[in-house]
Amino acid sequence: MTPKERAVRAAEAMWTEDGASKWLGMTLVSVDEGMAVMTLKVQKHHCNGHGMCHGGITFSLADSCFAFACNSRNQSTVAQNNTMTYTAPAQVGDVLTATAREVSLTGRSGIYDVCVTDQNGKTIAEMRGLSRAINGQLFTE
């Protein structure tokens, strides 16, 4: 099995059980070893009292994308720590794209950067995620 095939199978197994990402309206666009891309169209129910996309929604998109990237090797992996920096607001109708990429993987610990942009390529937020591999796999190899 190629690394890409493994990443796709792991993502399919995760997506089947991922009620939160689906409920929020996210779409898994692509995965490969150590990377993932997800999108979300901002709707009124995603917005806060200021009329802009709630930071927790943006964080959830980045966190879900991070999860698909760090589980791409079929090793069950969870977040150990995530830090988000918001750089611009998103509005109703914006299509947000989160792109996660692996920066480092040493033993059971990984570092991932996730950039969230709008449909015009404007950066909305940047997240750094630290992952930790745990026991188990997403599918049997």
pLDDT value, residue 19? 95
Tell me the whole-structure pTM to 2 decimals. 0.96
Which domains does the chain carry? 3-133 (3.10.129.10)
Structure tokens at 5: 């095939």
How many Cβ atoms are within 10 Å of 42's Cβ, its own excluded? 24
The pLDDT tens digits of the residues spanning 22-72 come to 999 999 999 999 999 999 999 999 999 999 999 999 999 999 999 999 999
